[in-house]
Amino acid sequence: MPVPSVKWSLSAISLIVIFGLPGTDRQAMAQAATAVAPPVQAVTVAQGLENPWGLAFLPDGRYLITERPGRLRVVEADGRLNPPVSGVPAVAASGQGGLLDVVLDSSFATNRTLYFCFAEPAPGGAPGNSTALARARLSLDGTALEDVRVIFSQRPKFASRLHFGCRIVEGMKDGRPDGTLFLTLGERFQRAQDAQTLDNHHGKIVRIGKDGSVPRDNPFVGRPGALPEIWSFGHRNPQGATLGPDGRLWMHEHGPQGGDEINRPMPGRNYGWPVITHGEQYGGGPIGAGITAKDGLEQPLHHWTPSIAPSGMVFLTSDRYGAAWKGNLFVGSLKFQFLNRVELAGGKVVREERLLGDLGERIRDVRQGPDGYLYVLTDNAKGRLVRVMPP
C-alpha cells in the first residue's frame, strides 16, 4: 500500500551550472537564473520494486513498470504490485543490462500492443549480448505477453555489462503517429570507436517501422557499408529520449567524467563521440585528442560538466504546476539523486532547478501521466513509483 504523502517545500534557489572545462568557450559559463519553485509533494504510489527502469500508463489507471532483473509488472492504481507478467523473453540481467524501457503503442486502447527493449543474450549460450526491441500484446487480464516478437537486435553482439542505452520513442509527423519507432543504443563502453562507423549499431539511434522494417526515408538507406536502420550516430550511452514541443526527437546521453549532453538528433548527423566531448577519462586525462569541437560534428544543445548521470526525459505539457513550468524539460539524475527542471528559450537552456533532492534516491525515469502530473521511478533494490504533486 502507498505510504502517506511527504511534502518537500522548495524555497528559491540559485544554481550555476558550469558548461565547460576551464579554457573552453564558447558555452562559457551559462548562468542559471534564480528560480522560485512552488512547493511540491512527493507522493509514493508504489514501493518494493527492484530497480525499476521504465514506466507506462495503462488506460484503466494502472501502471506498467519494468524491473531491470527481467520482470514486467502491472501495478494497481492503489500501488499494489501484481505478480510478474509472463512471456518476457530471457534477458541478460547483469551490470547495466536487463529489462529496460517500455512504451505503449499509440493505439494500445484497441490493439493492446506495447514495445519494450532489453539486453538480449546471444543465442545458444554464446558469449555476448546487445540491446533488442520487442513487440507484444498485453493479455486482456494483464497477466501475460502474447505474440512476443523481437523486431530489432543491435549488431554485433558483444560481451559487456555496460552502455545499453535503450529508450523508445514513437515517431510523429504533422502531429500524428507515423508508424515508426526510435531506439537509442549505447556504444557498449569498450567499443567506443564503433560509434563513428556505420557498419554497426553501437552508439547509434535507429529508426524502424513498428513491424521491424526499415523506413525508406532513413538517411543511410542504399548507402554501401551503412546499416539502413541508423538515424544518427556518434552517441555514447543515451538513456533519455522524448518528443519535444517541436515534434522532433530530443535525447540525452551520458558523457564520461563530464560532458553529459542534450541533443536533438537529426537524420544522418554525427554527434561526435568519442572524437569530441566536454568530458574526460575517469580519473582524469583527455579522451582522444581532448577536443570539444570539430568540423562536421554536431555540438550538443547543452551539456552538464560535471556529469549529473541523466536518465529519463519528458517535456511537461500540462498546466498542473502553473504556467511557469509548462513546456519545461524534466530529466532525472542518477548521480546526484534529483529531478532536474530545465527551462529553454530560443533553443538554449536558460535555467535549471533541482527538485526532489530530499528523496535521496536515484531518479531513473520521469514521465507525464494522463492526469497531467509528473511521475518518477527511483532506481534502487527497493525502488518506488512517485507522483510529483503541487500543493
Active site residues: 163
Task: Tell me how far apart the alpha carbons of residues 155 and 157 are, in angstroms, rounded to a whole number.
Answer: 5
Instruction: Match 527538485 to its residue by C-alpha cell.
Output: 355
Cell of 238: 543515451
Task: Tell me how far apart the alpha carbons of residues 163 and 290 are, in angstroms, rounded to a whole number.
Answer: 22
H helices, E strands: number in the chain: 1, 26
Alpha helix locations (H) across 26-134? 108-111
Task: Tell me how far apart the alpha carbons of residues 166 and 365 are, in angstroms, rounded to a whole number.
Answer: 12
Task: Tell me how far apart the alpha carbons of residues 139 and 244 are, in angstroms, rounded to a whole number.
Answer: 31
Half-sphere exposure of 59 (CA within 13 A, CB side): 13
Written as one letter, the residue type at 325 is W
Instruction: Match 507506462 to its residue by C-alpha cell.
Output: 56
Q: Do residues 230 and 206 lie in contact, with contact meaning Cβ atoms separated by under 8 Å?
A: yes
Task: Tell me how far apart the alpha carbons of residues 250 and 241 are, in angstroms, rounded to a whole number.
Answer: 6
| Element at 217 (helix H, strand E) | none
Written as one letter, the residue type at 98 is G
What are the C-alpha distances in Å from 34 to residues 27, 307, 351?
19, 21, 8
Residues whose CB falls within 8 Å of the CB of residue 66, separated by 6 or more in sequence, listed in order: 52, 53, 54, 55, 72, 73, 99, 100, 101, 102, 116
What are the DSSP calls for 329-355, one per residue? EEEEETTTTEEEEEEEETTEEEEEEEE
Instruction: Match 492526469 to its residue by C-alpha cell.
Output: 371
User: How long is the chain?
Assistant: 391
